[in-house]
Amino acid sequence: ELRSELCPRQFPARRAAAVAVALLRYRRGGPARALRLRELRRARTEDIKDVGHKYYLELELEDVLDKDSTVNCTAEVLYHLGNQNIAPDVQFTLEGELKSTEEADHVFYTRIRSLEKELVAENIPDSHGHVPPELEPIHLLAWVASGYLVWQNSTENTEFQLAQVKHVKQVRRRDKYLQFDFVVLLHEMVSQ
Amino acid sequence: DQVLHIVPETFQQVQHLQLLHSTLLLDLWKPLMPEDIMAGEDLHIRVPAPLVQEVKDILDQHMISYRVLIPDVQELVDQSMPRERSSHKQVLEDYVYTQYHPMEEIYQWMTQIQNNYSELVTQHFLGTTFENRPMYYLQISKPSNKLKKIIWMDCGIHAREWISPAFCQWFVKEILQNYKSDPKIRRFLQNLDLYVLPVLNVDGYIYSWETDRLWRKNRSPYENGTCYGTDLNRNFNSSWGSVGVSFNCSSNVFCGSAPESEPETRAVAQFIRRKKSDIACFLTIHSYGQLILSPYGSTTKPPSNNEELIQVGNKAAAALTGKYGTSYKVGPPSLILYNNSGSSRDWAHMIGIPLSYTFELRDNGTYGFLLPANQIQPTCEETM
C-alpha cells in the first residue's frame, strides 16, 4: 500500500477536498444546514494502477449558520483514469452527530406551503452580495443542490464553486413535497 | 442597531421581557404593544447599538434564548433608500467606504481626494482603456529632497472582484485620514511613495455594474466583434501564452492576441517599466481565495529571492490573521492555486522588482465574487 503524504496547502489536495465536501453538502445539507470546509488537516494520495488516483483526506467542517459548530470527517476520493465523464467516487464518514435542524426545516416547510403564490426569485446573492433573510434557506438549498452538480462534474483539474443562483421557481405539487427549479451559475476556479 | 427574535417560553419570561422593554425603552416591532407579548408567540424587538451587549447579557442571565434577526438595521435602511446617483452631488466627508461604488463615483472620489489632500496627493493619467476611458492613479507622496522607493498597488484588474477597488479606496482613506495622527504612517511616507490605481479594468468594471455582474475580462472585441474580452492578468509578457490560458476569445482566460495586446496592459506595463528601478514592491489586489501569492504561476521553479518573498508573505498573513482570525495561505500559484502565465505579478518580478505579490482577498467561496458590502470593513481592516 503506497500512500504518499500531500501538502494540504497545495491544490491537488484542495481540489479533492472540495469534491468530498460538495457531495457531503448534497447528502446532509438542507434549508437550515450548509457545511463548508474549514480546514484540510491531512491528505494522502495513492496511485491505483489501471484504476486512478485516490485521495485520503482528514477534514474539519463548519456549519455556515453556526461557525462555532464544527465536525471532523474522513473522506476518500477516487478520480477514475481515462474517462473524464465519470464522477469521482466519494466516501465519507462523519465523526459524531450533526445538530438537528428539524425545527428550522419545519418552519421553512410551513412557510413555503402557506405562500399564496409560488415562490420566484433571482440573483441570489444580488450584485452587492446581499441575500434577503427570507431567501436565505432557498440560497442554502441551492448550495446543497450545487454540491451534486459539482461532484458529478469534477475532475482532478477542476475546482467548482457556486457563484450565484440566477433564478429559482417553485413548482406546485399535489403531494406533500416541495419542489424548486434552480438555475445556478458555477464558477470554475482553475479556468477562471 | 439590531433586531432580535425571541419566543418567550414561560409567563415569567414574558414578564422579564416586558420589564426590559419599559426600562430600556426598546423599540417593539412585533407585537406592537408590550401587553400583547405572549408565551409561544414571536417577539421582534429593536435594540439600539450601545445597548445590544447589555440586553444580550440580560437575556442570557434569564435563560431566554434569542436569534439575531437583523444584525445591522442602518444597512438595511441604506439599501432600501432610493439613491439618485447621477444628480446627487458627492461630498468627500459623506463618502461611504463600506459600500460598493460605480465608476462615476470613483472618478469623482479621486478628484475630491486630490483636492482635499493636495499637500500629499496628486492624480495622474496612466492611459486609456479600449472604450476610451481614462485610467488614473493616485500618487501619495510627502514632498522631500531625497528620492524615495515606490510601492505600487493596483486594484480591479478583474471586473467582478468588487472588493478589490473597495479595498484600494479604503486604503487611500486610511492612509490620508490617519497621516497626521499615526506615527507609523508618517514614517512610512517619510521613506516611501505610494502609487495606487483604484480601478485598472475600467471598462470591465462598468460592464459588471451595468450588464453582467460576473464579467472578468476587459471589453476589447475580437473575431469581428462577435466575442469580447481579454483576461488582463494573462496578457502580460511573463511566459505569455504558455500555461493556464486559452487562445479562444470566448474563454475567461483568453490571453489576448499577443503580450500587451490590450491598451490597459500597455498603460500599466509602460509606466512600471519606466519606473522599475525605483519600485520596491508591486502589489495587485484580487478576490477571492484568501491567498498571498508570490511568483510564479507558470513554473514551480522558485524565484531567486524566494525565501525573502515567502518570509515577508508569512509576516503579512500573520498580521492579517491577527485582526479577525481570517486565515490566508502564502505561496506561488503554481503550487497552491493553479498554473497560469502572463500575470502582472510574475511580469513585475521578472523585470526586476524584488517584492511582487497578488493578494486574493475574502472570502473562501461562500459568497465568492459577490462579497456582501458588510464585509468590506473587516476585509479592509485586516488587510491594512
**B375 and A CB contact within 8 Å:** yes
Is the four-CA dihedral B332, B334, B339, B344 of positive or negative sign?
A: positive
To the nearest whole angstrom, how far is the Cα of A7 from the nearest Cα of chain B?
A: 9
Classify residue B373: in a domain, yes or no.
yes
Mean pLDDT of chain B: 91
Burial-class residue B354 by CB neighbours within 10 Å (0-12, 13-18, 19+).
Answer: middle
**A187 and B CB contact within 8 Å:** yes
Same domain (yes/no): B269, B344: yes
Q: How confident is the model at residue A21 (pLDDT cuts 50, 70, 90)?
A: very high
**What is the 8-class DSSP label of residue A50?**
T
pTM score: 0.79
Same domain (yes/no): B44, B145: no
Determine the pLDDT at residue A142: 96
- Determine contact, residues A125/A185, Cβ cutoff 8 Å: no
CB contact under 8 A, A125 and B366: no
Element (H, E) at A170: strand A160-171
Q: Which of A65, A80, A95 is the last residue of a domain?
A: A95
Determine the pLDDT at residue B83: 56
What CATH number corresponds to the domain at position B36? Answer: 3.30.70.340
Q: What residues contact residue A133 under an 8 Å CB cut-off, 6+ apart?
A: B69, B70
Give contacts of B216 with chain A, Cβ < 8 Å.
Answer: 192
- Determine contact, residues B138/B196, Cβ cutoff 8 Å: yes
Chain A residue with minimum CA distance to B373:
A128
Is B76 a residue whose pLDDT tops 80? no
Burial-class residue B166 by CB neighbours within 10 Å (0-12, 13-18, 19+).
Answer: buried
Q: How confident is the model at residue A6 (pLDDT cuts 50, 70, 90)?
A: confident
How many A×B Cβ pairs under 8 Å? 73
Classify residue B93: in a domain, yes or no.
no
Q: How confident is the model at residue B274 (pLDDT cuts 50, 70, 90)?
A: very high
Domain count, chain B: 2
Classify residue B317: in a domain, yes or no.
yes
Classify residue B95: in a domain, yes or no.
no
Q: Which of A61, A95, A129 is the last residue of a domain?
A: A95
Classify residue B94: in a domain, yes or no.
no
Give contacts of B371 with chain A, Cβ < 8 Å.
Answer: 129
Give contacts of A10 with chain B, Cβ < 8 Å.
Answer: 331, 335-336
B207 against B31, higher pLDDT: B207
What CATH number corresponds to the domain at position B314? Answer: 3.40.630.10
Domain count, chain A: 2
Classify residue B55: in a domain, yes or no.
yes
**B255 and A CB contact within 8 Å:** no
Is A113 a residue whose pLDDT tops 90? yes
Q: Which of A47, A69, A95 is the last residue of a domain?
A: A95
Residue B40: give the domain boundaries.
Answer: 2-71
What CATH number corresponds to the domain at position A155? Answer: 3.10.450.10
Pairwise CA distance, residues A92 & A103, whole Å: 26
What is the mean pLDDT of the segment spanning B179-184? 91
Same domain (yes/no): A151, A175: yes
Is B77 a residue whose pLDDT tops 80? no
Classify residue B89: in a domain, yes or no.
no
Determine the pLDDT at residue B237: 96
**From the list B335, B337, B369, which residue is nearest A163 (CB)?**
B369
Condensed to tens digits (0 to 9), the pLDDT of residues A160-170 reads 999 999 999 99
- Rounded to two decimals, the ipTM of the complex is 0.84
Query: Active site residue: B161, B360, B381, B382, which one?
Result: B360
Condensed to tens digits (0 to 9), the pLDDT of residues A59-87 reads 999 988 888 889 999 999 999 998 778 99
Residue A177: give the domain boundaries.
Answer: 101-188
Condensed to tens digits (0 to 9), the pLDDT of residues B127-152 reads 999 999 999 999 999 998 888 999 99
Q: How confident is the model at residue B167 (pLDDT cuts 50, 70, 90)?
A: very high
Condensed to tens digits (0 to 9), the pLDDT of residues B20-73 reads 888 888 888 888 788 888 888 889 988 988 889 889 998 998 899 898 888 888
Same domain (yes/no): A24, A65: yes
HSE-CB for B198 with a 13 A CA cutoff: 31
Same domain (yes/no): A112, A81: no
Same domain (yes/no): A132, A80: no
B54 as an active site residue: the answer is: no
